[in-house]
Structure 1
Protein backbone atom coordinates (compact mmCIF):
# COMPACT_ATOMS: atom_id res chain seq x y z
CA UNK A 1 0.00 0.00 0.00
CA UNK A 2 1.55 3.29 -1.01
CA UNK A 3 -1.37 5.74 -0.96
CA UNK A 4 -2.42 6.27 2.64
CA UNK A 5 -4.91 9.07 1.89
CA UNK A 6 -7.96 6.75 1.77
CA UNK A 7 -6.93 5.08 5.04
CA UNK A 8 -6.31 8.42 6.76
CA UNK A 9 -9.63 9.75 5.46
CA UNK A 10 -11.46 6.76 6.95
CA UNK A 11 -9.64 7.12 10.28
CA UNK A 12 -10.56 10.82 10.48
CA UNK A 13 -14.21 9.79 10.08
CA UNK A 14 -13.88 7.25 12.89
CA UNK A 15 -13.69 4.16 10.67
CA UNK A 16 -10.84 1.69 10.30
CA UNK A 17 -10.74 -1.07 7.77
CA UNK A 18 -9.64 -4.44 9.14
CA UNK A 19 -6.89 -4.73 6.51
CA UNK A 20 -4.76 -2.08 8.23
CA UNK A 21 -3.86 -4.61 10.94
CA UNK A 22 -2.09 -6.79 8.36
CA UNK A 23 -0.73 -4.18 5.97
CA UNK A 24 3.10 -4.38 5.78
CA UNK A 25 3.52 -0.77 4.64
CA UNK A 26 1.40 0.60 7.50
CA UNK A 27 3.34 -1.55 9.97
CA UNK A 28 6.65 -0.29 8.56
CA UNK A 29 5.45 3.30 8.97
CA UNK A 30 4.24 2.61 12.53
CA UNK A 31 7.67 1.21 13.47
CA UNK A 32 9.40 4.21 11.91
CA UNK A 33 7.11 7.03 13.03
CA UNK A 34 5.42 5.76 16.18
CA UNK A 35 7.32 3.02 18.00
CA UNK A 36 10.78 4.50 17.41
CA UNK A 37 9.66 7.88 18.77
CA UNK A 38 8.12 6.92 22.11
CA UNK A 39 8.86 5.08 25.33
CA UNK A 40 7.79 1.46 25.11
CA UNK A 41 6.66 -0.96 27.80
CA UNK A 42 9.21 -3.76 28.24
CA UNK A 43 7.94 -5.42 31.40
CA UNK A 44 6.55 -5.09 34.90
CA UNK A 45 8.68 -4.41 37.95
CA UNK A 46 6.92 -7.32 39.69
CA UNK A 47 8.55 -9.74 37.22
CA UNK A 48 11.95 -9.05 38.77
CA UNK A 49 11.36 -8.85 42.55
CA UNK A 50 14.84 -9.90 43.81
CA UNK A 51 18.33 -8.57 43.14
CA UNK A 52 19.76 -10.30 40.08
CA UNK A 53 16.35 -11.26 38.63
CA UNK A 54 15.88 -10.65 34.93
CA UNK A 55 13.43 -11.33 32.11
CA UNK A 56 13.92 -11.08 28.37
CA UNK A 57 11.22 -9.40 26.29
CA UNK A 58 11.00 -8.64 22.59
CA UNK A 59 9.70 -5.33 21.29
CA UNK A 60 9.24 -5.42 17.53
CA UNK A 61 12.61 -6.55 16.15
CA UNK A 62 14.64 -5.91 19.31
CA UNK A 63 15.25 -7.86 22.50
CA UNK A 64 15.66 -6.24 25.95
CA UNK A 65 16.69 -7.48 29.40
CA UNK A 66 14.88 -5.71 32.25
CA UNK A 67 16.81 -6.62 35.41
CA UNK A 68 17.13 -5.64 39.07
CA UNK A 69 20.65 -4.79 40.22
CA UNK A 70 22.26 -5.50 43.57
CA UNK A 71 21.35 -1.93 44.56
CA UNK A 72 17.66 -2.69 43.94
CA UNK A 73 17.46 -0.43 40.88
CA UNK A 74 15.59 -1.63 37.79
CA UNK A 75 17.46 -1.29 34.52
CA UNK A 76 16.77 -2.40 30.97
CA UNK A 77 19.62 -3.50 28.73
CA UNK A 78 19.66 -4.00 25.00
CA UNK A 79 20.08 -7.76 24.53
CA UNK A 80 22.72 -7.56 21.85
CA UNK A 81 26.44 -7.21 21.92
CA UNK A 82 27.43 -4.54 19.42
CA UNK A 83 30.46 -6.54 18.35
CA UNK A 84 29.27 -9.40 16.10
CA UNK A 85 25.62 -8.81 17.07
CA UNK A 86 25.66 -11.68 19.55
CA UNK A 87 22.66 -11.99 21.84
CA UNK A 88 23.84 -11.58 25.45
CA UNK A 89 21.08 -13.48 27.26
CA UNK A 90 19.37 -16.50 25.70
CA UNK A 91 17.21 -17.57 28.65
CA UNK A 92 13.74 -16.06 29.01
CA UNK A 93 14.16 -15.35 32.72
CA UNK A 94 16.41 -16.10 35.65
CA UNK A 95 18.77 -14.67 38.21
CA UNK A 96 22.33 -13.58 37.43
CA UNK A 97 24.97 -11.42 39.04
CA UNK A 98 26.03 -10.11 35.62
CA UNK A 99 25.71 -10.79 31.89
CA UNK A 100 28.55 -12.04 29.70
CA UNK A 101 29.04 -11.97 25.98
CA UNK A 102 28.83 -15.62 24.86
CA UNK A 103 31.41 -14.89 22.16
CA UNK A 104 34.08 -13.24 24.30
CA UNK A 105 33.10 -14.50 27.76
Structure 2
Protein backbone atom coordinates (compact mmCIF):
# COMPACT_ATOMS: atom_id res chain seq x y z
CA UNK A 1 0.00 0.00 0.00
CA UNK A 2 1.31 3.41 -0.89
CA UNK A 3 1.44 6.37 1.48
CA UNK A 4 -1.83 8.25 1.99
CA UNK A 5 -1.63 11.80 0.57
CA UNK A 6 -1.94 14.30 3.43
CA UNK A 7 -4.39 16.30 1.32
CA UNK A 8 -6.94 13.48 1.58
CA UNK A 9 -6.92 13.34 5.39
CA UNK A 10 -9.54 15.06 7.52
CA UNK A 11 -12.89 16.58 6.63
CA UNK A 12 -13.48 18.04 3.16
CA UNK A 13 -16.61 19.94 2.17
CA UNK A 14 -17.42 19.02 -1.42
CA UNK A 15 -20.75 20.79 -1.82
CA UNK A 16 -22.79 23.30 0.14
CA UNK A 17 -26.11 24.96 -0.71
CA UNK A 18 -26.16 28.43 -2.22
CA UNK A 19 -25.07 31.26 0.04
CA UNK A 20 -27.77 32.28 2.50
CA UNK A 21 -29.35 28.81 2.61
CA UNK A 22 -28.57 26.84 5.75
CA UNK A 23 -27.91 23.17 5.06
CA UNK A 24 -30.92 21.00 5.89
CA UNK A 25 -28.79 17.86 6.08
CA UNK A 26 -25.13 16.95 6.49
CA UNK A 27 -23.86 13.96 4.51
CA UNK A 28 -20.42 12.66 5.48
CA UNK A 29 -18.91 9.85 3.41
CA UNK A 30 -16.17 7.83 5.11
CA UNK A 31 -14.01 5.53 2.96
CA UNK A 32 -13.09 1.96 3.82
CA UNK A 33 -9.74 0.27 4.28
CA UNK A 34 -7.37 0.90 1.41
CA UNK A 35 -9.28 3.94 0.18
CA UNK A 36 -9.05 7.67 0.66
CA UNK A 37 -11.46 10.58 0.90
CA UNK A 38 -11.22 11.48 -2.80
CA UNK A 39 -10.46 8.49 -5.05
CA UNK A 40 -12.95 6.20 -3.28
CA UNK A 41 -15.81 8.33 -4.60
CA UNK A 42 -14.35 8.96 -8.06
CA UNK A 43 -14.81 7.11 -11.35
CA UNK A 44 -12.73 8.59 -14.13
CA UNK A 45 -13.31 12.34 -14.08
CA UNK A 46 -16.56 12.10 -12.09
CA UNK A 47 -16.66 12.37 -8.33
CA UNK A 48 -20.21 11.29 -7.68
CA UNK A 49 -20.44 12.95 -4.24
CA UNK A 50 -19.79 16.42 -5.65
CA UNK A 51 -20.76 16.03 -9.32
CA UNK A 52 -23.87 13.85 -9.23
CA UNK A 53 -25.43 13.81 -5.75
CA UNK A 54 -26.10 17.59 -5.60
CA UNK A 55 -28.04 17.31 -8.88
CA UNK A 56 -30.77 15.35 -7.10
CA UNK A 57 -33.54 17.65 -5.81
CA UNK A 58 -33.53 15.71 -2.52
CA UNK A 59 -29.95 16.79 -1.81
CA UNK A 60 -29.83 20.39 -3.13
CA UNK A 61 -30.08 21.75 0.42
CA UNK A 62 -27.52 19.31 1.82
CA UNK A 63 -23.91 19.90 2.71
CA UNK A 64 -21.85 17.01 1.35
CA UNK A 65 -18.51 16.17 2.93
CA UNK A 66 -16.00 13.38 2.93
CA UNK A 67 -13.65 12.34 5.73
CA UNK A 68 -10.26 10.73 5.21
CA UNK A 69 -8.18 8.83 7.74
CA UNK A 70 -4.94 6.88 7.61
CA UNK A 71 -6.18 3.32 7.07
CA UNK A 72 -2.65 1.91 7.43
CA UNK A 73 -3.34 1.79 11.17
CA UNK A 74 -5.57 -1.19 10.33
CA UNK A 75 -3.77 -2.75 7.36
CA UNK A 76 -0.37 -2.59 9.04
CA UNK A 77 -1.19 -2.87 12.76
CA UNK A 78 2.41 -3.03 13.94
CA UNK A 79 3.77 -0.22 11.82
CA UNK A 80 4.21 3.22 13.28
CA UNK A 81 1.30 5.49 12.44
CA UNK A 82 0.78 9.10 13.40
CA UNK A 83 -2.97 9.06 13.87
CA UNK A 84 -3.84 6.01 15.96
CA UNK A 85 -6.84 3.74 15.81
CA UNK A 86 -10.63 3.81 15.44
CA UNK A 87 -11.39 5.90 18.52
CA UNK A 88 -8.87 8.57 17.50
CA UNK A 89 -10.34 8.69 13.99
CA UNK A 90 -13.86 8.98 15.39
CA UNK A 91 -12.81 11.80 17.70
CA UNK A 92 -11.14 13.63 14.79
CA UNK A 93 -14.26 13.24 12.63
CA UNK A 94 -16.58 14.55 15.37
CA UNK A 95 -14.27 17.47 16.15
CA UNK A 96 -13.90 18.44 12.48
CA UNK A 97 -17.65 18.13 11.91
CA UNK A 98 -18.41 20.25 14.97
CA UNK A 99 -16.00 22.94 13.73
CA UNK A 100 -17.56 22.90 10.25
CA UNK A 101 -21.08 23.23 11.63
CA UNK A 102 -20.06 26.17 13.82
CA UNK A 103 -18.62 27.99 10.80
CA UNK A 104 -22.03 27.86 9.12
CA UNK A 105 -23.96 28.43 12.36
CA UNK A 106 -25.93 25.22 11.84
* TM-score, reference length from structure 2: 0.23
Bigger fraction of residues in helix: 2
TM-score (norm 1): 0.23
Q: Which has the higher contact order (CA 8 A, sep 6+)?
A: 2
